[in-house]
Structure 1
């Protein structure tokens, strides 16, 4: 292979492996340094919101009962046209130390005048240090038209909501009385590979690729000197 073609191939491989191969997260909140714009508000409708409490020790957010059907409300990074996440995944970690086994939808998506309720009735952990992980594929059959996920939602209806997403609300009301709920590691993704972006096994980290390409560049320079020719890798 000519040296110029070899260099071009390496550059293309580097872009692919350090970029789009891992880029699944459309929006995420890990709460490493603060509440990241999250609020609390109503679970089933649009309207007023209020602030949450950031726990710097656990690096998560928490709330007690504030609204009649209390929920964590996502910031603007999770809203707007999110058509790209249809067929993708919504994932988060949740606990309610006072839950009494009250089963309900874990989250709602509201947009274009419709509220869709995620199916599933897993009650969250009572331990804020061992939260329950919720992960749902974003297709119509995984949603309903009322709390608990009853009713039928088509893919077209879900796509309509995702095209103009006005509220993402994570259930923070798992008890008929007072609650104490914590939330962490929220991801909205285009694929099932949802969460912290890490290379698959056997694929070098981006920094490793940079060092490898530098090494190949030195080898190329040596080859050019030997061949007394001039080849430039763009």
Structure 2
């Protein structure tokens, strides 16, 4: 009975040690625009402009000139590079549209680009625009898994999706939601995920060997006593 109890304790301790080392650490990349535009840019109509407002704690906005070219918010360099740790995480942002009429249906809400290809949100602008109200802030969130995105008008497989996340060179958020002039505001852009710290093989191996050695030693002592 004592030997079995000892083995159970060893198993419990090894599980606790492994679990402790494997705890997920939350990670984020974000822009809250508390003091400035944080390096965000714009592409699209030559007559449109990207501006900063210190209202609502700070945000950026595009005033669309409606010249026929779609406007996008362009994320700064901190949203580029190897973003593999955000796989299974989320990409979210707050958006506010001044007008909802005459929407440009079919355009993705956001894109993630790399040299391999461009991921586009599977959810696109609809007519009428759903779940958004003119002049009010709304939070949009997209899970960073293949099912939430499209690659070349199809759902990417996991290998393709992970490859693009590993070499991101641009993230864009739609700043042109309708045919006609408008003001589109953006705030609280965030990539969120978790990093799992797994023990090095040498560390894990040494731990297991040590536990096995202790159990064998205790077993021999228990046998000699009997």
TM-score of Structure 1 vs Structure 2, range by shorter chain: 0.5 to 0.7
Q: Is the Cα contact below 8 Å between 1:109 and 1:165 reproduced in 2? A: yes
Structure 1 distance, partners of 2:133, 2:75, is 21
Give the Å deviation of 1:185.
0.6
Q: Cα gap change, 1:64/1:138 in structure 2, threshold over 3 Å: closer, same or farther?
A: same
Structure 1: gaps of 5 or more residues: 1-15, 43-47, 192-234
Q: Is the Cα contact below 8 Å between 2:49 and 2:63 reproduced in 1? A: no
| Matched residue, 1:105 | 108
Instruction: Give the SS at the match of 2:61.
Output: strand
1:175 maps to 2:178: yes
| Matched residue, 2:151 | 145
| Matched residue, 1:131 | 137
Structure 1 distance, partners of 2:118, 2:64, is 21
1:63-110 deviation per Cα after TM superposition (whole angstroms, max 9, x unaligned): 122681111110011111111101110010011212324343110000
| Matched residue, 2:204 | none
**Paired residues, number:** 161
One of 11, 31, 34 as aligned partner of 1:32: 34
Give the Å deviation of 1:23.
3.1
Instruction: Give the SS at the match of 1:175.
Output: coil
The within-5 A match list for 1:88-103 is 88-100=89-101, 101-103=103-105
Q: CA RMSD in A?
A: 2.4
| Matched residue, 2:169 | 166
1:99-132 deviation per Cα after TM superposition (whole angstroms, max 9, x unaligned): 32434311000002411111113644321xx311
**Normalized against structure 1, the TM-score is what?**
0.62
Give the Å deviation of 1:176.
1.6
| Matched residue, 2:193 | 190
Higher helix fraction: Structure 1 or Structure 2? 2
Q: Is the Cα contact below 8 Å between 1:94 and 1:125 reproduced in 2? A: no
The within-5 A match list for 1:1-234 is 23-25=26-28, 27-41=29-43, 52-58=50-56, 59-65=58-64, 68-100=69-101, 101-103=103-105, 104-121=107-124, 123=129, 124-127=132-135, 130-145=136-151, 150-191=153-194
**Normalized against structure 2, the TM-score is what?**
0.64
1:8-66 deviation per Cα after TM superposition (whole angstroms, max 9, x unaligned): xxxxxxxx9xxx876331x1011110101111125xxxxx9x97211012311001226
Structure 2: gaps of 5 or more residues: 1-19, 195-226
